[in-house]
Amino acid sequence: MSDQELTLVLVHGAFAESASWNGVIERLGSAYSVVAAANPLRGVAGDAAYVRDVVRGIGGPVVLVGHSYGGMVITEAASDDPAVRALVYVNAFCPDTGESALTLSGKFPGSTLADTLVSYPVATGGNEVAIGQNAYHAQFAADVPGDLAALMARTQRPVTEQALGDGLATAAPPWRSLPTWFVFGDADRNIPVAAHRFMAERAGARGVREIVGASHAMAVSQPGEVAQSIIEAARGVGSGAS
């Protein structure tokens, strides 16, 4: 283990943005170095390359934390990177080789996301999607106060259809060799809870926290629970407050 300080790198997913981690960062406190990266949401390969750039800029050991589609990104970004010491999945996809966000969200019944999406073309080709303003609260953040959910709907970052359909490229998913932690809600309407349980079991997660009634927007609605899982990961790899 390096003597350098461990940095926690938080990677948001689709329909959110880096400020969605604010409550989690507050609860992590001053004992940890934290960076909330701005995930481009354009495609798994390019988004992972950007996160690798962030890690390289930090120049020391990191724990990668991904929310939702951000789980796809941290899984690809951590491949063959010795700086990454652990992975934390927050209502997130933890894919195997070739699996995409779309295939994993559809592996078990229950997701109601598709009917809430609005789609439009982008100049670089293809389409991007966002959650319709009127549907956002119930779909994405049902346990968040209405005024805050309305603000989140307006500041959400759209994602390309390509990103959601991109399969994991690495032939050696890092969760097979790195310690992982999972925290997820049983009221997630984007990713069925059965999928979260499946991915956590498949990864042999060192820690699993399932929160009753928690929506997909757990980093906002349950920041203390999310922070606790991240702290457990940091301590599990030998760094952070005691």
Q: Are 117 and 94 in contact (CB under 8 A)?
A: no
The Cα-based distances of 98 to 43, 67, 160, 176 in angstroms read 14, 19, 18, 15
Token look-up 């303003």 returns 133
So what's the pLDDT on residue 3? Answer: 52
Q: What is the pTM of this model?
A: 0.96
So what's the pLDDT on residue 238? Answer: 78
So what's the pLDDT on residue 147? Answer: 98
So what's the pLDDT on residue 122? Answer: 94
Q: What's the token pair of residue 18?
A: 């880096």
Low-confidence ranges of the chain (pLDDT < 70): 1-3, 239-242
Task: Please calculate the CA angle 125-39-15 and round it to the nearest 5 degrees.
Answer: 75
So what's the pLDDT on residue 4? Answer: 75
